[in-house]
A and B are shown apart, each in its own frame.
Chain A
Amino acid sequence: DQQVKQNSPSLSVQEGRISILNCDYTNSMFDYFLWYKKYPAEGPTFLISISSIKDKNEDGRFTVFLNKSAKHLSLHIVPSQPGDSAVYFCAASDRGSRLTFGEGTQLTVNP
């Protein structure tokens, strides 16, 4: 039972344009959501998070949007840079429980 799903295995965008990565979840008890970035042969690094009491959180070029009614969150990267090319994982937790991760989306930013 995949409670967190990233339906796009890959995404390719041009440098300077917007990257939008999507994530859907099924567990309505999830109340905290995170995005991680992962380069090959390295561990994931934390990027940005959002609590269920908010619908938007921004940190520099990165913005996460949460639509609780649709059980959907998205990560926007503006402007996209070649160094942003990596696998992005979304993750969710339920009231302090362990994190559940999505399958990941490979983002490629072309110069």
Chain B
Amino acid sequence: DGGITQSPKYLFRKEGQNVTLSCEQNLNHDAMYWYRQDPGQGLRLIYYSQIVNDFQKGDIAEGYSVSREKKESFPLTVTSAQKNPTAFYLCASTRHNTGELFFGEGSRLTVL
């Protein structure tokens, strides 16, 4: 079945460690996105990529990095520079730049 797969679903990290969240899609979508959800703040855009080997910063990119080496994959690294990394992270994709986004199930990161 076509869809977006995020892993891991739950992740614990010690302060000072980098962690990478995986996002894979088999929908043949061109654009992929990473959002962060915090209580009462909705979904905030971290990074997005409209084409392979190209990506742009979103509204809250500091402390994060991404790569887009393959159309299907858009991993997000939460670095030790991210001041408040505990959150629910959502990956999404779409065939066009806008319109209906398809979301993964999310990854919950907790920093101990």
> What residues on A are CB-neighbors of B105 within 8 Å?
41-43
Cβ contact within 8 Å between B103 and A45: yes
Stretch at the interface among B13-21, B67-75, B78-86, B93-101: B93-101
Known: A9-B40, A34-B100, A103-B40. A44 touches B33 (CB 8 A): no
Which chain B residue shows the least CB distance to A32?
B98
- Docked Cα-Cα span, A96 to B94, in Å, equals 12
Q: Are B43 and A96 in contact (CB under 8 A)?
A: no
Are B98 and A42 touching (Cβ within 8 A)?
Answer: no
For A44, give its contact among B48, B90, B108 (CB under 8 Å): B90
Q: Chain A 89-111, CB within 8 Å of chain B: the 1/0 string? A: 10001001111011110000000
Q: Which residues of A contact B2 (CB under 8 A)?
A: none
B33, A42: Cβ atoms closer than 8 Å: no
- Set A9, A45, A98: member contacting B33, Cβ < 8 A: A98
Complex: A102 Cα to B35 Cα, angstroms? 13
Q: Given A98-B33, A99-B101, does the pair A43, B90 have CB atoms closer than 8 Å?
A: yes
Q: Which residues of A contact B33 (CB under 8 A)?
A: 98
Interface string of B17-49 (1 = CB under 8 A from A): 000000000000000010100001111110010
B68 to chain A, nearest CB (A): 15
A residues engaging B (CB < 8 A)? Answer: 4, 6, 9, 32, 34, 36, 41-46, 49, 89, 93, 96-99, 101-104
Q: List 28 A-B contacts (CB under 8 A).
A: A6-B42, A36-B101, A36-B103, A41-B105, A41-B106, A41-B108, A42-B106, A43-B4, A43-B92, A43-B103, A44-B90, A46-B101, A46-B102, A49-B99, A49-B100, A89-B42, A93-B98, A98-B33, A98-B45, A98-B48, A98-B58, A98-B97, A98-B98, A99-B45, A99-B98, A101-B43, A101-B44, A103-B42
